[in-house]
Amino acid sequence: MPTGKEPKGNGNDTKTLMSFIIMAVIFTSVINIFMSAVTSRQTQEISYTQFLQMLDDKKVATVERQSDRLIVTEKVDDESQVGLYQKHNTYIVGAVDDPELTDRIIESGAVQFSNVENNSVIYEFMVSWVLPSILIYIVVTLLMRSVAKKMGGGGGPMSFGKNTAKIYAQKETGVTFADVAGQEEAKESLNEIVDFLHQPEKYNAIGAKLPKGALLVGPPGTGKTLLAKAVAGEANVPFYSLSGSDFVEMFVGVGASRVRDLFKQAVANAPCIVFIDEIDAIGKSRDNQMGGNDEREQTLNQLLSEMDGFDSSKGVVILGATNRPEVLDKALLRPGRFDRRVIVEKPDLKGREDILKVHVKDVKLGDDVDLNAIALGTSGCAGADIANIVNEAALRAVRLGRDKVNQSDFMEAIEVIIAGKEKKDRILTEKEKKIVAYHEVGHALATALQKNTMPVQKITIVPRTMGSLGYTMQMPEEEKYLMSKEEMIEQITTLLAGRAAEEVIFNTVTTGASNDIERATAMARAMVAQYGMSDRFDMMGLESIQNKYLDGRNVRNCAEVTSAEVDSEVLKIITDCHKNAIDILKKNEGVLHKIAAFLIEKETITGKEFMEILESENSNDEKEKVNIEF
């Protein structure tokens, strides 16, 4: 909602305009002086007597009579001697009251004679001074505007270096905490800021101060920007939204100028929320051994100074968001600047279900839709991923000609996000189809025949656009936050069972297991280097994670010799799990053949169909054992 207060203009605009006008006048003066000097070199002043003598000698070509002088041009006898840039001599003669002058000029012969009225002083001033100044102003303004647009400074010469903040009022954002789901702890931390802006006297009475800033930290897509808008919406105050890259420009000092201007506007419109997204663009640590960026460091220094300088009691709150808190400067994170760090993690099971409820409010749902089952299938997804899944499900329902979204639409949408769309133009040969089928059934059997694994939801050998020729989908029965050593071993065994099936049935290997090998190796290395699950290294930490909210890259913390020993320990885990997978499949080779044949025929089977075949085969084996015993 409008606050009724506009940002107070400072004297910088007036000073800039005055300086600009003075520069234009000086420039015009220089031009006039230069033109006057050039004209004076081409024009000489002669006496009236000399002029009359030139008339008698017939050396005058033209005479121009003005009110206060005569402009006389000398005649050249040989026109061929006048070059392209050569001019006739021009003379100025002071006006004399001579009534016979006109007759004498006519008697002198072929003289062009004319009377010209002198221009007024105002006209000469406008032409000589005002018009050139205006033209200079227009040209320079257009040039500055062009440069300012390229530099992101807006338009006009006075806007260069100003901040590019967009002010959102509550009606424009339309976001409150009711629109943010799955982040209850983050909302609780930020709700104190909202309450303080509504009832500052309650906190002032006990001596509490409003936090100057809060840093929102978390993976991409978890709703950091949405939370910042919700704070402004709940507090019913103006919302300034910027990106860290908006401050940093090519010229040193522009970013610092924008920071100063931003805080002046914020204080003028207090109470308000200032949100700086991707703050790591300007807040990177200055302890860089490879050399720094002067513009970025100046901008950061100005931001630190401004955050120290403004009074938090006025109701200006700075919210920052980043995916990389580890690269931020320590001075930026200290209390008194960003007093509070709010972690915005990927949502848990309940959080994902709440997010689904928010996004399906405007979606027509079928009677079979189970949001809890969908939430279980979206483990590891952020809020943006879930919003995308809901939209994909709705699009699929429309594509199939239905007026409601069914459970199958949601499950297919999850698969589209995970593995991509079905690639119908990729036709496998019969041999490849058979290899892929045994590979995927190998995964499924290893999952079903071990204790600490997730149940199979679906098996398919239909290629997907993200590169997979088939996949086995597992669905957790409950949300888990810890994994035991046994569970990790069994998961590695399941990953390697696809390759093991190829070896058992075809006595060869293919390239189809590349992703399985990559994931299994990463998990085995984490067991040894991070989780202390190796007898050889006990609980020694050999690796750490950098950028855990982005790619989560592992960094080695040990010597080269120790790293080689880690590799050998990882290889031992992989080898043992590989052998275990082969043993499982050899013991159940009959059911492997039967399920693979069924999958080749159907191309896609559900987890229920898979378990029915497996259980029927197991019961037949038990009957055969009983008959043998009798």
Please tell me the distance from the alpha carbon of residue 473 to that of residue 458, in angstroms, as a whole number.
5
Has residue 81 got a pLDDT over 50? no
pTM of the entire predicted model:
0.68
Specify the higher pLDDT residue, 167 or 613. 613
Q: Which of 232, 222, 327 is nearest to 279 (CA)?
A: 327
Local confidence band at 208 (pLDDT 50, 70, 90 cut-offs) = confident
What's the 3-state SS for 93-153? EECCCCCCHHHHHHHCCCCEEEECCCCCHHHHHHHHHHHHHHHHHHHHHHHHHHHHHHCCC
Active-site residue (options: 440, 490, 502, 569): 440
pLDDT given for residue 356 in this prediction: 93
DSSP state of 472: E
Helix (H) / strand (E) element for 76: namely none
Helix (H) / strand (E) element for 401: namely none
Specify the higher pLDDT residue, 551 or 598. 598
Q: Can you count the helices (H) and strands (E) in the chain? A: 23, 16
Angle at alpha carbon of residue 625, lines to 619 and 628, rounded to 5°:
145
Residue 401 burial class via C-beta count within 10 angstroms: exposed 0-12, middle 13-18, buried 19 and up: exposed
pLDDT given for residue 431 in this prediction: 92
Integer-rounded Cα Rg, in Å, for the chain is: 42
Contact (CB, 8 A) for 513 and 438:
no
326 SS3 class: helix
Tokens of residue 74, six digits: 């000398």
Local confidence band at 6 (pLDDT 50, 70, 90 cut-offs) = very low
Has residue 297 got a pLDDT over 70? yes
pLDDT given for residue 429 in this prediction: 87
Has residue 536 got a pLDDT over 50? yes
- Whether the bond between 476 and the residue before it is cis, its omega within 30 degrees of 0, is no
Please tell me the distance from the alpha carbon of residue 151 to that of residue 176, in angstroms, as a whole number.
34
Has 117 been annotated as catalytic? no
Kindly report which listed range (90-104, 113-127, 167-181, 513-527) carries the lowest average pLDDT score.
113-127
Has residue 51 got a pLDDT over 80? no
pLDDT given for residue 207 in this prediction: 84
Please tell me the distance from the alpha carbon of residue 267 to that of residue 273, in angstroms, as a whole number.
10
Helix (H) / strand (E) element for 371: namely helix 371-377
User: Which of 24-28, 70-74, 497-501 tops mean pLDDT?
Assistant: 497-501
pLDDT given for residue 582 in this prediction: 96
Contact (CB, 8 A) for 24 and 136:
yes
What pairing do the DSSP bridges indicate for beta strands 316-322 and 213-217?
A: parallel
599 CB neighbour count, 10 Å cutoff:
26
Query: Looking at residues 459-475, what average pLDDT do you find?
Result: 85
DSSP state of 379: T
Phi-psi bin for 558: left (phi > 0), alpha (psi -120 to 50), beta? beta
Phi-psi bin for 184: left (phi > 0), alpha (psi -120 to 50), beta? alpha
In the chain, the amino acid numbered 273 is: I
Kindly report which listed range (17-21, 64-68, 403-407, 624-628) carries the lowest average pLDDT score.
624-628
- Over the chain, what is the mean pLDDT? 79
Kindly report which listed range (63-72, 77-86, 127-136, 159-168) carries the lowest average pLDDT score.
77-86
Tokens of residue 237, six digits: 């105050």
Domains of the chain: 47-118 (3.30.720.210), 166-343 (3.40.50.300), 349-419 (1.10.8.60), 430-624 (1.20.58.760)
User: Percent helix, strand, coil in the chain (nearest 5)?
Assistant: 55, 15, 30
